[in-house]
Structure 1
Amino acid sequence: RDRIKTSINISGVLFHFVDTAGIRETNDAIEKIGIERSKQEISNADIVLQILDVTSLNDEDHKKLDDLLHTIKKEDVPVIRVFNKSDLLDSSQHSISIVSRETVISTSAVTGAGLQELKNALIKLSGVTDNYSVYSARERHLNLLKAASLHLNQASDFIKSNNPQLELFAEELRESSDNLGEIIGKTTSDDLLGKIFSGFCIGK
């Protein structure tokens, strides 16, 4: 019922995933809270992945999400319908006959079937093109890399001086770490500073 968040790099493009409770009718008060959280995440999402069990599909599953998107005025958000557990179907059931404007992909978490197709769909919907450097072409990323480099150079100057200024050295490392953390979507400056302070006697 809680939201589970993680970031995954796919072909150089960073995606932030949020796994939430499914959308359904319930009388359970706690489950209702989880569903409300799901609605909040969907309202902020750039892409929605609806994960469904291919062995027990029904039209109601699609309708609930469609109605929700209409309610929160996100009808234009890209939707990928992911029909998982395709390994449990026999060969005669492998074709999924669904008429839909959304991207439809059949996958298997067990065999890995369809996962590359899913990754390709995510990359396509992210807006990255062949003329776009997937590593650091965004101007903001380039600026952050430059800033991180400047802070590292400054930190090097502080530690190499005749009278090392450890407080300033640590601060420059923190700034550089924060810059890099913004690029990958995760900042670990506290962990870095913890290691620095555990190895140096720095005055308070």
Structure 2
Amino acid sequence: MDKILVVEDNAELSDTLCRNLQAEGFMPYAALSLAQARKYLDSGIDLCLLDINLPDGDGFAFCRSLSENTAIPVILLTVRDGAQDMVQGLSIGADDYVTKPFRMDILVSRIRAVLRRVRNRRPGDGCLYCGDVCINKKTSKVYKKDCPVELTPNEYQLLLLLLEHKNQTITREQILEKLWDVDGNYVNDNTLTTLVKRLRQKVEDYPQMPKMLLTVRGFGYKAVDYEG
């Protein structure tokens, strides 16, 4: 379930947005100010709906901060409809711009479109994406919904192998040929089963019903994209 941070100082509009988003299958988080919004940034937010005019700061500045310091996409919500404001918002990192008043079905469509784009983004940014999981190959760090995930070296190597061959079945034999434990010892078949189980516990929402790291019976495993 995608988490949507709604940063809107109009309490009535915020409540309406949150109720409608929940009805559409999202998990909304309401923030009536930037101070409240910042408290949710470590909650695995998938997208931010951001009003420009807020009581404790400038929405444009907050948008720039999100763009520079997180991977959270932003859709700006504003009563302003001038081209200059739209250009400014998009130039500082906003992913879309919606002018009030708006139809809820159109806003939901824009949200889903942005989420699809960011999950298939930037092939040249040094990262691998699958579902809501990201591997930064430059830093060897793993994130789930923008939150760091601590993996052992073998868990990391297994996830990297599967994401480098996303949507392809990798046989158990191929995986075993690639993986060695931290002491340089060969990883055997039983160890691989345990390794996959541990990895799912860290990157799947429901490890017993995996959506990303799938077992291909009789062959091996594959990583597939999915919408949360």
Specify the TM-score bucket, using the shorter chain as the normaliser: 0.3 to 0.5
Structure whose CA Rg is larger: 1
Between structures 1 and 2, the one with greater strand share: 2
Between structures 1 and 2, the one with greater helix share: 1
Q: Give TM-score, length-normalised by structure 2.
A: 0.32
